[in-house]
Structure formats: C-alpha cells, structure tokens
Amino acid sequence: MEKGVFLENSHYDVDVFKPKISVTQCFNCHGFDHTKIWCPKKSKICPVCSQAHELSDCLIASANDVSQFKCPNCTVDRCHSALDHEKCPKYQEKFAYVQQLAQYGL
C-alpha cells in the first residue's frame, strides 16, 4: 500500500509536518521573548560590547577583537556576540526550551 493521500482520485505524497523552530530575539536590546516594538529598554544595546550604541558605531566590533566581546544576555562566558547563536549559552538554552515546546505541541 502506498503512503500518502488520495484526493479526487489522485495520489499525493505527504511528509510529516516539522515546524520551524525559532527563538524570538529583540533587535533593540538583543534579549529574548520580545521584539523591538515591545522592548522595555529605551536605548539601543550593541550586541557585541553591551554598550548603548548601534553595532555600526562599535569600535570593538570594527576591530574584531573577540576577546573584548560581551554578550548582553550572558553573565558568564561572555566572549561572544549576542548574534553568535552557536556560542551563546543563553540562546542555546532558549532554543532547547522552544524545541521542547514544539515537540510537545505547546
């Protein structure tokens, strides 16, 4: 027996739905669970040095001195940018949580 769906005498192959898992991250403060519109911070926070300025104005980012990077979300192991999702433990923690919610359909 073929797998799929019959609709009006035609057979269609189907795949299991796999939802895209994403973490909501603010473009203003780079925190999680809200967007720029709902951000509680009034000033823009740099994702590289955690100071109140645009990324384009960041001297640390332009020098690409990774040892000076300070993720605004992390308190330990901060030598990464808030945009480096592979190195950010807070992002990884949030991603695992969202993945678990998706797995259980919540």
**Percentage with pLDDT > 90 across the chain:** 62
In this prediction the pTM is 0.74
Average pLDDT of the segment spanning 13-17: 83
pLDDT at 2: 58
pLDDT tens per residue, range 81-99: 999 999 999 999 999 999 9
Under DSSP, the state recorded for 32 is B
DSSP 12: E
User: Could you report the per-residue pLDDT of 19-49, keeping only the tens digit for each?
Assistant: 788 999 999 999 999 999 999 999 999 999 9
Q: Of 62, 44, 61, which Cα lies nearest the Cα of 53?
A: 44
CB atoms within 10 A of CB 39: 17
Q: Give CA–CA dist 50/71, Å, rounded.
A: 6
Residue 6 in this model has a pLDDT that exceeds 90: no
- Compute CA distances 71 → 41, 61, 89, whole Å: 16, 12, 10
Q: How far apart, in whole angstroms, are the C-alpha atoms of residue 30 and residue 36?
A: 9
| Per-residue pLDDT, 20 | 80
